[in-house]
Amino acid sequence: MLPVVAGGLTVWYLLPVTRQRPRKYGLLLGLLALAGLAGFLLRGFGDRVPETVESVLFFGFSGLAIVFAVLMITGRNPARSALAFALVVLSTCGLFLLLAAPFLAAATVVIYAGAIIVTFLFVIMLSQQEGPSNANLRSREPEFATAAGFLLLATFLVGLQRVYDWRSVDAAIAHASALARADKIDPDYLSPRSKADVEEMKPDPPPLTPKAAAFVAEMRSALDRVRVAAPRGPDDRRLTEHKTVQELQNAIDFGLPTAFKDPDGDGVRPACQTISDGLMRLKGYRDGTNTFHDVTLSEHGVVKPIDQPVNERQLPAANVSAVGRTLFTDHLLAIELAGTLLLIATVGAIAIAGRREVPA
Amino acid sequence: MIPVSHYLAVGAVLFTLGLIGFLSRRNLIVMFLSAELMLQGVAVNFVAFSRYHGNLHGQVFTLFVIAVAACEAGVALALFLMLYRRKRSLDVSLWQALRETDVPETVDTEPLPPVSPEEPLPKLPPAGVEPERDEERQYV
């Protein structure tokens, strides 16, 4: 929450208004927001960022990109905004290099930072104004715009955290396997039916104890998280669950409550073992340590087995030739369309900007 | 290897900043730059997914994004030049006659700040002594 609130205040504070605000406070808030974002990235997703040169470069480039983006949208001088945007593009190119896309980085530098920004500077030069102007010194609804933007950002970040933070699943697995390996089941979990109930054949089963209910709920939410990772068959487009998911669902919904109501709790250990094994297996699918040998997933129309874990999926070393091959085999039509689009845009720009006699 | 989620977060931040700039600024050029900033945020996402999945389709898509952005820049800048010739300003609110009929008009109430006098350019002190000129002398 901290980075979002501090960032929102920073941007709102720095947006141009007719009154002059001292920039000092904006700077402080911005530093706070950046530190908060860095902390979120370091800890918020559960996996540790390795302490390597790569992480230093990543944090450096992304920090530069964000700082210059803020300077760009808050600048009062459009020429400076354009230059700040060029620096944002250069920092993003650094990120592209880290992501093994050297050709794209070079192309972006040439096209964006070179051609497009220079065109911008020409237009700024041609439409220069003297003195203060409404265009540069006023903002439209800065409060609403900032609030809307940062609400969106908060949604993005919370969504990312929900998808990529698997610490709750790890905790559930640890919990279940601890219970499966316990010598003696904690009596707080068990709610045995009393003798009188059994003799009278009361149909109502006793309720679970609070601890047992919490345990079942934890397992259920963990299953909800890992369910998406389970592979599905290629032919079956209906949402048939993988058999591990079905086993897990059964164990959580029926096996575990029944075992907890057993007086001696004998069924608890095998049920917990099943659950922890199943969760581990699905987590392995998600991490890519379990590969889909028996299943095939569809990858843009072509059904092929996914037999490489995520960490070992590599891009080809010869980036330029590989990109060229992909462009001219898989995306040939798109290339033709892009070329046509460029041609039409050129014609259109000339037609629009041509100096015509404006009828009086 | 930095996990893909981190790149996605950076892309989201860039996109949001672009969105705010587009919504709140009134200079046409800065608005357009903000739109390009949003494209940069999306490009980071594409390239990060490309790395994550180990295929090049994300990078190729980003190339197309760049091509479309170039087209956009050409046409939009031509438009801006024409608009500037009509109104002598790049303020987008000058064109609010084009708004929907039920939207109230934007009126600026606060006056613009006074022009701060421009700082004079620094003057270099004359350095050294001007050498004596011998006009008569002829250099061959």
Domain containing residue B52: CATH number: 1.10.287.3510
Is residue B133 situated within a structural domain? no
- The yes-or-no verdict on residue A115 having pLDDT over 70 is yes
What are A296's strand-pairing partners? A305
Is residue B53 situated within a structural domain? yes
- Cα separation values, A184 from A181, A192, A212, A213, A269, Å: 9, 15, 15, 19, 10
Report the chain B residue with the minimal C-alpha distance to residue A152.
B16
pTM: 0.80
Scanning A57-86 for CB atoms below 8 A from B yields: 58, 62, 65-66, 69-70, 72-73, 75, 78, 81-82, 85
**Residue A304: which H helix or E strand, with range?**
strand A302-305
Alpha-carbon gap, residue B6 to B123, rounded angstroms? 50
- Considering only CA atoms, which of A300, A66, A213, A115 is closest in space to residue B71? A115
Q: What is the pLDDT of residue A46?
A: 66
Question: What angle (nearest 5°) sits at the alpha carbon of residue B35, between those of residues B34 and B39?
Answer: 115
Decide if B13 and A37 are in contact by the 8 Å CB cutoff: yes
Question: What angle (nearest 5°) sits at the alpha carbon of residue B98, between those of residues B92 and B103?
Answer: 95
Q: What CATH class has A2-164?
A: mainly alpha
Q: What is the pLDDT of residue A2?
A: 67
Q: What is the pLDDT of residue A206?
A: 66
- Considering only CA atoms, which of A40, A160, A60 is closest in space to residue B12? A160
The rounded average pLDDT for each run of 10 residues, N- to C-terminus, in chain B (140 residues) is: 86 93 89 94 94 86 93 91 85 84 79 71 80 70
Question: What angle (nearest 5°) sits at the alpha carbon of residue A126, between those of residues A120 and A128?
Answer: 100
Is residue B27 situated within a structural domain? yes
**Residue A299: which H helix or E strand, with range?**
strand A296-299
- Cβ B4 vs Cβ B48: under 8 Å: yes
Q: What is the pLDDT of residue B67?
A: 92
- The yes-or-no verdict on residue A203 having pLDDT over 70 is no
Q: How many domains does chain B have?
A: 1
- The yes-or-no verdict on residue A305 having pLDDT over 60 is no
- What is the longest distance spanned by two Cα atoms in chain A? 104
- Cβ A269 vs Cβ A180: under 8 Å: yes
Decide if B108 and A96 are in contact by the 8 Å CB cutoff: no
Minimal Cβ distance to B51: which of A40, A100, A144: A100
Interface check for A320 against chain B (CB to CB < 8 A): the answer is no
Query: Which residue in A48, A73, A83, A93 has the most chain B C-beta atoms within 10 A of its own C-beta, making it the best mutation to test that interface?
Result: A73
Q: Strand, coil or helix: what is A273?
A: helix
Confidence of residue A162 (pLDDT cuts 50, 70, 90): confident
Confidence of residue A18 (pLDDT cuts 50, 70, 90): low
Q: What is the pLDDT of residue A352?
A: 87
Is residue B139 situated within a structural domain? no
Alpha-carbon gap, residue B86 to A213, rounded angstroms? 72
- Cβ B11 vs Cβ B48: under 8 Å: yes
Question: What angle (nearest 5°) sits at the alpha carbon of residue A41, between those of residues A40 and A42?
Answer: 90
Domain edges within chain A: 2-164, 167-311, 319-348
- Cα separation values, A156 from A34, A332, B12, B35, Å: 17, 34, 7, 19
Tokens encoding A289: 């340590």
Decide if B27 and A308 are in contact by the 8 Å CB cutoff: no
Structural domain of B50: 4-94
Is residue B129 situated within a structural domain? no
Is residue B75 situated within a structural domain? yes
Question: Tens digits of per-residue pLDDT, A241-294?
Answer: 666 777 777 777 777 777 777 666 667 777 787 788 877 777 777 666 665 554
Mutual angle of helices A319-329 and A332-353, in 10-degree steps: 90
What are A303's strand-pairing partners? A298
- Give the lowest-confidence range in A21-25, A277-281, A339-343: A21-25
Is residue B134 situated within a structural domain? no
DSSP string, A75-104: -SSHHHHHHHHHHHHHHHHHHHHHTT-HHH
Q: Which residues contact A53 (CB under 8 A, 6 or more apart)?
A: none
- Cβ A137 vs Cβ B112: under 8 Å: yes
Distance from CA of A282 to the nearest CA of B (A): 19
**Residue A255: which H helix or E strand, with range?**
none
Scanning A17-46 for CB atoms below 8 A from B yields: 18-20, 37, 40-41, 45
Q: What is the ipTM of this complex?
A: 0.83
DSSP B94: G
Tokens encoding B84: 């500037």
Scanning A167-206 for CB atoms below 8 A from B yields: none
Q: What is the pLDDT of residue A107?
A: 93
- Cβ A271 vs Cβ A259: under 8 Å: yes
- The yes-or-no verdict on residue A37 having pLDDT over 50 is yes
For chain A, give the mean pLDDT. 77
Alpha-carbon gap, residue A220 to A273, rounded angstroms? 15
Interface check for A331 against chain B (CB to CB < 8 A): the answer is yes
